[in-house]
Amino acid sequence: MKNAMWIALIFVFLSAGCVDGKTPDGKVILTLSTPDPDGSSITEAAKEFAKQLAENSKGEIEVKVYPNGSLYGGDPSAGVKQLSAGGLDMLTLTASLYANFNPEFTILSIPYLFKDLAQYKEYINSSYGDGLLESLDTLGINGLTFWNRSFRKITSSVRPINSPEDLKGIKLRVLNNALWVEYFQAAGAITTPMAFGEVYSALQLNTVDGQENPIDIPWSSKFYEVQKYLSHTDHITDAWIVGFNKEKFNKLSKKHQDIIASTAKEMQDWKFDYDLKMDKEIEGKLVDAGMIINDVSPANKAKFTTISRTLYPKFKELVQNDELFDKTIELVK
């Protein structure tokens, strides 16, 4: 109840003296919510986006960034609903979470489907990616663009994960997404879907033994304090969706719409390069903090890949679009 009151007060403060997000002098003030902490890749990208918008609009567009899901209580599904209803101006969330609203987004997270981030980037910028973004219109959301995300790693307090055999009996926190659950159960893990805000405590209390995320998350969320091993499984990649409430976007001037849309797309290259650089730096920091990092051999990655391919019929059902699934498989071969 108290959290709800504080959130309401924040929005009252932000809207004071504004009409439809504009101050009397015509300046546009917007909020941008991210799910991860300060220092995380997505929050740093959001801050850079805000900076570039201010520069490109000559100060006419001001964006306030709120990390950690603070404006939507840390519940991603609630965040999408608030964005759809206009309670949020802008929101960055992973595409896999939008699969709860449109199953076709599942295609972006098929384990070991894409050979590298360059191929993934090409796919999200294709007509297939455009079609997924356009589907958000039905939710009242303008999908401005995709930003890439690094391949995901597995961390554990029990042992390094070099092969599917190492996952046997591991209690693994996963996204509340059927694809994650299906894949990791097939690989031998005991899956525990859980909201991200609960993960650190669950790791600390040994409610779960491990989790999986891009490498910036164990650093920015301090999982190194409660996890010993990080394994370069590189099992799934994903994309961030930069979403804007459609009604609010349509109320902006054509000039401001163009600046926001073009700047969001230009940020994709910035985010791609930033992650390549920072992932290497973060790995060194995790080692310094006491984590043991292990690479996974091509032979063992092939074992993980085989598990994914045996699940293609199930994944196809989850996508709920046979043509999209078949054409994607053919395209990325």
> What are the two backbone dihedrals, phi and then psi, of residue 129, each rounded to the nearest 5 degrees?
-65, -40
CATH code of the domain containing 317: 3.40.190.170
For 224, the token pair is 């190194």
Considering its fold, how many domains does the chain have in total?
2
Please report, in tens digits, the pLDDT of each residue of the chain (333 residues total): 445 445 444 554 444 445 456 665 679 999 999 999 999 999 999 999 999 999 999 999 999 999 999 999 999 999 999 999 999 999 999 999 999 999 999 999 999 999 999 999 999 999 999 999 999 999 999 999 999 999 999 999 999 999 999 999 999 999 989 999 999 999 999 999 998 989 999 999 999 999 999 999 999 999 999 999 999 999 999 999 999 999 999 999 999 999 999 999 999 999 999 999 999 999 999 999 999 999 999 999 999 999 999 999 999 999 999 999 999 999 998
> Does 200 share its domain with 140?
no
Residues 21 and 107 in one domain: yes
Shared domain for 164 and 145, answered yes or no, is no
| 6 and 107 in a common domain | yes
Question: 74 with 218, same domain?
Answer: no
Q: Is the domain of 188 the same as that of 302?
A: yes
Stated pTM of the model: 0.89
- Token pair, residue 95, equals 């595409």
Domain extent at residue 131 = 2-150+238-280
Task: Count CA within 13 A, CB hemisphere, residue 40.
Answer: 25
Same domain as 262, residue 128: yes
Q: Tell me: do 267 and 311 sit in the same domain.
A: no
Cα-flanking dihedrals φ and ψ of residue 325, to 5°?
Answer: -65, -50
**275 and 196 both lie in a single domain:** no
Q: Are residues 12 and 113 in the same domain?
A: yes
Considering the domain architecture, whether residues 106 and 208 belong to the same structural domain is answered as: no
Give 120's contacts (C-beta < 8 A, 6+ positions apart): 114, 148, 237, 239
Structure tokens at 16: 């004071």
Nearest-CA neighbor of 106 among 265, 317, 305, 272?
A: 317
Q: Verify that 220 and 325 share a domain, yes or no.
A: yes
Structural element, H or E, at residue 174: strand 171-174
Cα separation, 191 vs 303, in Å, equals 19
Task: Find the largest Cα–Cα distance for the chain.
Answer: 63
∠ CA(256), CA(259), CA(263), 5° rounding?
145
Pick the closest to residue 214 from 92, 96, 41 (CA basis): 41
